[in-house]
Amino acid sequence: MVETQRFEISMKGQGDARDITEKVAAAVSASRARAGTVTVFVVGSTAAVTTIEFEPGAVVDLNRMFERLAPRHEQYQHHFRWGDDNGSSHVRAALLGPSITVPLVDGGLTLGTWQQLTLVEFDTRPRRREIVVQIVGE
């Protein structure tokens, strides 16, 4: 059985992060699947999906690490070629990755209590994001 669910979220731009666990769990509940895998995929190349203990401090810490890795106000070749200002967004998103796959067991995601599915926005302007939740199982 394959079931596809989608939802959208409006993000405020670089540094914004959202706990999407409930939305993904609702998508799973709306399907008939009880066991399998749930792949959460964000469409686009300047956002990413991961898990973190979703609390404001850890989100600040995560963004600070990315600022160290790929500072927003450095020069990027992507800027020179395209006139954009979001070179930092592209490399951060490529590093974190657009998708995550979570086991589905007995109708529930196997996340830990303090482990939330999190959409991380890296673009330098507000974006409306489309999330695809792909459920493969039985």
Size of residue set near a second copy by CB under 8 A: 61
| Residues from 87 through 106 that contact a second copy (CB under 8 A) | 87, 90-91, 93-105
Residue matched to tokens 């489309």: 130
Distance CA 111, CA 113 (A): 7
Q: Does 62 bind a second copy (CB under 8 A)?
A: yes
Q: Give the footprint of a second copy on residues 66-85 (CB under 8 A).
A: 68-70, 76-82
- Is residue 107 at the binding interface for a second copy, with CB under 8 A as the rule? no
Only one residue has tokens 């409930």, namely 22
Does the footprint of a second copy cover residue 25 (CB under 8 A)?
no
Q: How far apart are CA 15 and CA 74, in angstroms?
A: 16
Residue span binding a second copy (CB under 8 A) among the ranges 8-16, 18-26, 44-52: 44-52
Phi and psi (nearest 5°) for 2?
-120, 130
